[in-house]
């Protein structure tokens, strides 16, 4: 049974189109209020990133929740993981995040958290969708929900972030550039670093409602890279618009992705003898990460693409460390969800404890060249056809044990992603094109 509104991470789209409208958010607010609470006396928290449409959707959700008889606590601009934390510590029945993450300002979306600060289970999302189909009913006036603003929300989350690192460690030796993508971390990430003693240069901290993720943040690290080199900083940090993912830049100006950051944290945990279980990545995680973790004596498990699936694998097995190449890093020994600031602090602590630069810490992992080609589908493609399986086997034989092949249909567009990686960059390019051509011939 497919969901009508929910994707892999909430509901998202272009503002004013489809369900990303004030009218739908009004009904959505009421629906989650009915499903997640028993009515009068319980509350739900709402946080948002800095895009201008957040004001409109916050008001609409607030009205819908009030109509369901649910009190609302408004957090204002707050990173997604901050909303997860405050949902749990404020005893809320649920948390709502108004954000489209790394997307441009003209997109927006809604994400939800359970009372424990985790993603909603599928059955809850189905129940919310079922409630959306029912008539909009408002409780009697004396039972309407009230809205209040949590005045110290940012301060509470800042203190939490600092608590995820040893109190005896400080960053007084570090010169850091942090890029907040003009997003939800603009008033939080720099303060966390400053309060732990770092010298901080902050960019992407002037949100105007329209500039979120605009040539800044984790998907556009070039400005950060330039700032690190020009200021001779020790490290650069790029967060995305809602603060749940990051990319870093070392002192040489080299971009360090989620796979490398995951390795650095895992290695630090092994050295501290606090590592438990395996590390979880995705089908797109670089083979170099798998091989580097194996040298540390760690098992690496691949989940489907999406931090939701990484989280599911971690919880299913009782493990705590996982992530994606794109910069989602999950440390369940520190918090309940992927958190860019918390992950950054784990990397910085590893640097301080070891006395090594990020460039040195990542050097024990070698990223393999990776090539991906998107092949448009004009018709259905049978991924189990003998012709295709034979073509894949031929490429795998050429790569040997030092490479891998992945064919993955996109979940959002009519394309199949053809990915090849291995030690030899030229060979990878050639074999990926060869396999892509074969796929094209089968859908022509």
Q: CA-to-CA distance for 190 and 180, rounded, in angstroms? A: 8
CATH of domain 370-443: 3.30.310.50
pLDDT value, residue 306 = 87
List the structure tokens of 184. 């939800």
The DSSP H or E segment spanning 297 is none
The topology (CATH level 3) of 11-153 is Alpha-D-Glucose-1,6-Bisphosphate; Chain A, domain 3 (3.40.120)
List the structure tokens of 351. 């640097």
* DSSP string covering 138-177: PPPGGG---EEE-TTHHHHHHHHHHHTS-TT---TT-EEE
Question: Residue 192 half-sphere exposure, CB side, CA atoms within 13 Å?
Answer: 29
DSSP 379: S
pLDDT value, residue 40 = 60
Q: What is the pTM of this model?
A: 0.92
Q: What angle do CA 340, 72, 78 make, to 5 degrees?
A: 20
* Residues 332 and 321 sit within 8 Å (Cβ to Cβ): yes
Q: How would you classify the pairing of strands 43-48 and 11-14?
A: unpaired
Residue extent(s) of CATH 3.30.310.50 domains in the chain: 370-443
pLDDT value, residue 442 = 83
pLDDT value, residue 139 = 96
Domain 164-362 annotated CATH 3.40.120.10: yes
pLDDT value, residue 411 = 65
List the structure tokens of 114. 């359970």
Q: How would you classify the pairing of strands 255-256 and 246-250?
A: antiparallel
pLDDT value, residue 384 = 80
**Catalytic annotation present for 363:** no
Residue extent(s) of CATH 3.40.120.10 domains in the chain: 11-153, 164-362
Q: What is the pLDDT of residues 369-422, one digit of tens each?
A: 999 999 988 667 777 888 889 999 999 999 988 899 999 887 667 888 999 999
Sheet holding 403-409, edge to edge: 370-376, 415-422, 403-409
* Residues 145 and 65 sit within 8 Å (Cβ to Cβ): yes
Residue numbers of the chain with a pLDDT score lower than 50: none
pLDDT value, residue 412 = 63
Q: How would you classify the pairing of strands 175-179 and 199-203?
A: parallel
Place of tokens 């909303």: 83
In terms of Cα–Cα distance, which of 333, 341, 320, 316 is closest to 80? 341
3-state percent helix, strand, coil for the chain, nearest multiple of 5: 40, 20, 40
Write down the catalytic residue from 101, 285, 325, 326: 101
């Amino acid at each position: 049974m497919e969901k009508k509104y929910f994707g892999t991470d909430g509901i998202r789209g272009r503002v004013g189109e489809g369900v990303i409208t004030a009218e739908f958010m009004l009904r959505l607010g009421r629906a989650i209020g009915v499903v997640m609470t028993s009515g009068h006396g319980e509350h739900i928290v709402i946080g948002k990133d800095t895009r201008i449409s957040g004001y409109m959707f916050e008001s609409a959700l607030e009205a819908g929740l009030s109509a369901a008889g649910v009190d609302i606590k408004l957090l204002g601009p707050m990173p997604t993981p901050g909303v997860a934390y405050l949902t749990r510590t404020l005893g809320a029945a649920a948390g709502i995040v108004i954000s489209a993450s790394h997307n441009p300002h003209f997109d927006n979306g809604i994400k939800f958290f359970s009372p424990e600060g985790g993603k909603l289970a599928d059955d809850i999302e189905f129940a919310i969708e079922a409630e959306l189909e029912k008539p909009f009913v408002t409780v009697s006036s004396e039972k309407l929900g009230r809205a209040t603003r949590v005045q110290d929300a940012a301060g509470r989350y800042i203190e939490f972030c600092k608590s995820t690192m040893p109190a005896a460690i400080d960053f007084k030796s570090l010169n850091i550039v942090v890029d907040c993508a003009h997003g939800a971390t603009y008033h939080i990430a720099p303060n966390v670093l400053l309060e732990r003693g770092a010298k901080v240069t902050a960019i992407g901290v002037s949100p105007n409602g329209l500039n979120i993720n605009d040539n800044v943040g984790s998907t556009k690290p070039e400005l950060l890279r330039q700032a690190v080199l020009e200021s001779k900083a020790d490290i650069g940090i790029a967060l995305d618009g809602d603060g749940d993912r990051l990319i870093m830049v070392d002192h040489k100006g080299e971009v360090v992705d989620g796979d490398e950051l995951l390795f650095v944290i895992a290695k630090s945990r092994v050295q501290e003898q606090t590592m438990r279980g395996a590390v979880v990545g995705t089908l797109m995680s670089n083979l170099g990460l798998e091989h580097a973790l194996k040298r540390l004596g760690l098992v690496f498990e691949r989940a489907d693409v999406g931090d939701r699936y990484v989280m599911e694998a971690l919880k299913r097995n009782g493990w705590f460390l996982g992530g994606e190449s794109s910069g989602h890093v999950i440390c369940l020994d520190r918090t309940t969800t992927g958190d860019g600031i918390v992950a950054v602090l784990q990397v910085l602590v590893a640097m301080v404890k070891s006395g090594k630069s990020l460039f040195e810490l990542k050097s024990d992992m070698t990223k393999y060249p990776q090539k991906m080609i998107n092949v448009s589908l004009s018709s259905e493609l049978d991924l189990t056809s003998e012709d295709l399986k034979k073509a894949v086997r031929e490429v795998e034989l050429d790569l040997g044990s030092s490479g891998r092949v992945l064919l993955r249909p996109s979940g959002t567009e009519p394309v199949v992603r053809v990915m090849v990686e291995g030690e030899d960059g030229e060979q990878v390019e050639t074999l990926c094109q060869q396999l892509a051509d074969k796929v094209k011939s089968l859908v022509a």
